[in-house]
Amino acid sequence: TSLIKESNVDVLIIGAGPAGLMAANALAKSGVNVRIVDQRPDKVAAGQADGIQPRTIESYGLAERLLREGNQMHMAAFYNPSASGGIELTDRVPDVTAPSARFPFEVTLHQGAIEAIFLDSMESLGVKVCRPLIPTSIQVSEDDDQLKDVNSHPVRVSFFLERRFVNENLVVLRNLNPFDDHEESEIVHAKFVIGADGAHSWVRKTLGLTMDGEQTDYIWGVVDMTPDTDFPDIRNRCAIHSNNGSCMIVPREEDKVRLYVQLDDRNAVDEESGRVDKSKIGPHELLDATRKIFHPYSFKTPESFDWWTIYIIGQRVASKFSVKDRVFIAGDACHTHSPKAGQGMNASMNDTHNLAWKLTQVLRGWANLSLLQTYELERREYAQNLISFDRQFARLFSGKPRTEECMDGVSHEDFLKIFQTFSGFTSGIGIHYAPSPITDPSYQAHAKKLIIGQRLLPQIFVRAADSRPIEIQDLLPADSRFKLLVFVGDSSDATRRDRIRRVAEDIRDVVRPYSPDGLTAVFEIIAISCTKKADVRHNELSELFGCHWSKILLDDKDVRGKQGGDGYVNYGIEPSVGAVVVVRPDGYVGMVAPFENVKELGAYFVGFMKGLSPNM
């Protein structure tokens, strides 16, 4: 006889890789009742993804630990065949060409260390990964009334558990066969489910979501180790095209290095399954291939390898990212591609970064369920762009180099062009969401250089109360609230101050109906004046906007004249006009409202938020 346990949860996350952990941490921080399960008995110890792009460093509050623990890649070097045989240096260029990046470099750190940042944060909030645990069935209700009611639990997920003792420690093992004897079963009723269960996603397959795209012929080996070599660019990111194949170097934390080596050995592929047969090829064979590519530089066999793998690249995007906006798939579960542009983990974390605030807003009753449709809209288009970039990049990377004997090959100029043209994309800085209810470009002209649909440009302002230089991005944490940046113009002018007073009142009137839990619970107002610090009266402004003293900023240089200034110019805002910039909880510019017509804010929020009637 088995015991059936039933429980309710707001959000159930299946899979605790980067996508699942990002979601669990963000939701836990917002106070959402969340549960996360994973089939692995333990977290990732080594290997897998390792590249963190500039946008990821600036956006999730991860920067401090990433910068402390990770390696930084500032330079990219390119090697090509030399006339005397072997390879030679062709070029060295900055690794990232994204002028507005706050951190203009990539950080490399192994996936387990990145996951640990989320795990530690979650633990401090009382959320732990339940492992090893695998769900056995998932059903989404067909009942429309239930689906429309945000407080209902229309997704039913079951688990069959089997308890065993290993070395006197109790472990809960999965038992995949529901007809076997099992001591305990659990049925979880969830309001929402996130399938973040990787490239072979069970959630995706069980719900019948297909992947569009194809497997490529490119086979790559990856090996992590501490190298012993005379190759001069071993601490730079390198792309090496040789007559013996291609290789990419990714320098890593401490003295470690990752090598991506292209293999042309189809013998290693099992014809039936299409998967690489790891018994036929191992790290020593990868190192042999590396030596041929690196000639004339030497590469000694290390005492040990930290991690290695071999895989065939598939370039696919899921046909849909959600089922009835109650189950969502995220990360590798909905897009797979080559790892060389360092996108996998970043794209995966970005998916759930995009989803978590929307779920929070809906669960709190602030936004309509329809807000959730923008997840697929935004992230599927991004995934498609990622695959089309990856096709070009992987083809050029895997192609033969151009030489006198092979004039059709890939030239350094072609490769560099793609590398630099797509830097905005690969750095994450250039991600641009299309117009939708949450991305309204109507008033772009009021802040010409803040592209609506892109992340807010970093900029140092000076805090009015104490002249401390502040990076504006640090005032925009992903805490589920919309931020309203009010560019008031020159607040030292008495006539202008009267206008600011009226605008401040209007803004509060317009957003109050969308603030069922109080205005500051849903919105954060930050006012930015272009008055000089010698003339500012910050308390007057904080009173007008009803905000904390620390939210009044100046577009001026700091006291040493080194940081800050030119914020209005950099954002394309006319000081004599002003503007209100709406920053979404994920840091993207959602809309700009004219200073003289802040009622437009209402037209934006009514598109996806629940407005209270004025007498409520």
Q: Is 384 in the site for ligand FAD (CB under 6 A)?
A: no
CA neighbor of 381 nearest in space, from 355, 351, 352: 351
Among this protein's residues, is 260 annotated catalytic? yes
Residue span 217-256 as binding mask against ligand FAD, x where in contact by CB under 6 A, dash where not: -----x----------------------------------
Helix H or strand E encompassing 262? strand 257-263
Q: Is 111 in the site for ligand FAD (CB under 6 A)?
A: yes
Q: Is 31 left (phi over 0), alpha (psi -120 to 50) or beta?
A: left
How far apart CA 336 and CA 318 sit, in angstroms, is: 9
Q: In what order do the strands lie in the sheet with 87-94?
A: 87-94, 75-81, 237-242, 245-251, 257-263, 211-225, 307-318, 335-336
Stretch that binds ligand FAD, among 328-336, 387-395, 505-513, 517-525 (CB under 6 A): 328-336
Among this protein's residues, is 10 annotated catalytic? no
Q: What contacts 131, CB < 8 A, 6 or more positions away?
A: 16, 37, 38, 39, 40, 41, 42
Among 49, 52, 259, 293, binds ligand FAD (CB under 6 A): 49
Q: For residues 257-316, which are near ligand FAD according to CB under 6 A? A: 309
Q: Could you tell me the smallest distance in angstroms from the CB atom of residue 201 to ligand FAD? A: 7
Answer whether 480's CB lies under 8 Å from 361's CB. Answer: yes
Among this protein's residues, is 339 annotated catalytic? yes
Stretch that binds ligand FAD, among 10-18, 164-172, 380-388, 587-595 (CB under 6 A): 10-18
Answer whether 489's CB lies under 8 Å from 530's CB. Answer: yes
Q: Could you tell me the smallest distance in angstroms from the CB atom of residue 332 to ligand FAD? A: 4
Q: Is 197 in the site for ligand FAD (CB under 6 A)?
A: yes
Pairing mode of beta strands 552-554, 469-471: unpaired
Answer whether 598's CB lies under 8 Å from 506's CB. Answer: yes
Answer whether 350's CB lies under 8 Å from 19's CB. Answer: no
**Between 111 and 454, CB nearer to ligand FAD:** 111
Query: Computed over its alpha carbons, how large is the radius of gyration of the chain?
Result: 26
The Cβ-side half-sphere exposure at 98, using a 13 Å CA radius, reads 27
Q: What contacts 162, CB < 8 A, 6 or more positions away?
A: 172, 173, 174, 175, 180, 182, 183, 184
Q: Give the interface size with ligand FAD as a residue count (CB under 6 A).
A: 31
Q: Is 48 in the site for ligand FAD (CB under 6 A)?
A: yes
Among 11, 12, 13, 20, binds ligand FAD (CB under 6 A): 20
Among 10, 38, 233, 440, binds ligand FAD (CB under 6 A): 38
Q: Is 332 in the site for ligand FAD (CB under 6 A)?
A: yes
Stretch that binds ligand FAD, among 65-73, 165-173, 329-337, 556-564 (CB under 6 A): 329-337
Question: Which one of the listed residues 252, 316, 481, 584 is annotated catalytic?
Answer: 252
**Between 15 and 590, CB nearer to ligand FAD:** 15
| 3-state DSSP assignment of residue 407 | coil
Among this protein's residues, is 441 annotated catalytic? no
**Between 77 and 114, CB nearer to ligand FAD:** 114
Catalytic residue ranges = 50, 252, 260, 339
The site for ligand FAD (CB under 6 A) is made up of 14-20, 37-40, 48-49, 51, 111, 134-135, 196-198, 202, 222, 309, 331-333, 339, 342, 344-345, 348
